[in-house]
Every structure is written in structure tokens, then in C-alpha cells.
Amino acid sequence: MSSIDLCSVTVRPTHSAAEHRRWDHLVGEHHYLHYHGIIEFAPCGHVAMVSETWLALIG
């Protein structure tokens, strides 16, 4: 694994319906408690990323 310059990491909310679905799917697949939805009026998933590569999911 290559190193990442932490100054280049950005965090932003998911924007599109496709990104919301991707976020839901990845949390469901990888989180040890799985995913049962976050009670919220609007999707609230955030992603930490470098360029266009998702590094982490934040709920």
C-alpha cells in the first residue's frame, strides 16, 4: 500500500442517489454491525477521499 499525503484528503457528503446507494452498500458489506439505515430526513453519508478515490465512510 502506498502512503497518502493527509493534506490531500477531503471529506464531503454524498451527492447523488448513486453515491447514496454506493455508501449504503459499502457500509452494509464492510461494517461489523452491517447497515440498517440512519434515521434522518436526508441521506447523511459522508466520504473521505483523495482525488476521486473513496478512502473512508462517515455516517
User: pLDDT per position in the chain (59 positions), as tens?
Assistant: 578 888 899 999 999 989 988 988 888 888 776 666 555 545 678 999 999 999 999 88
pLDDT at 31: 77
Q: Tell me phi and psi for residue 23, to 5 degrees.
A: -60, -50
Q: How would you class 47 by CB atoms within 10 Å of its CB: exposed for 0-12, middle for 13-18, buried for 19 or more?
A: buried
pLDDT at 9: 95
- Between strands 53-58 and 46-50, the pairing is antiparallel
**pTM of this prediction?**
0.71
pLDDT at 25: 86
pLDDT at 24: 85
Q: DSSP readout, 31-44? A: STT-------SS--
- Between strands 46-50 and 10-13, the pairing is antiparallel
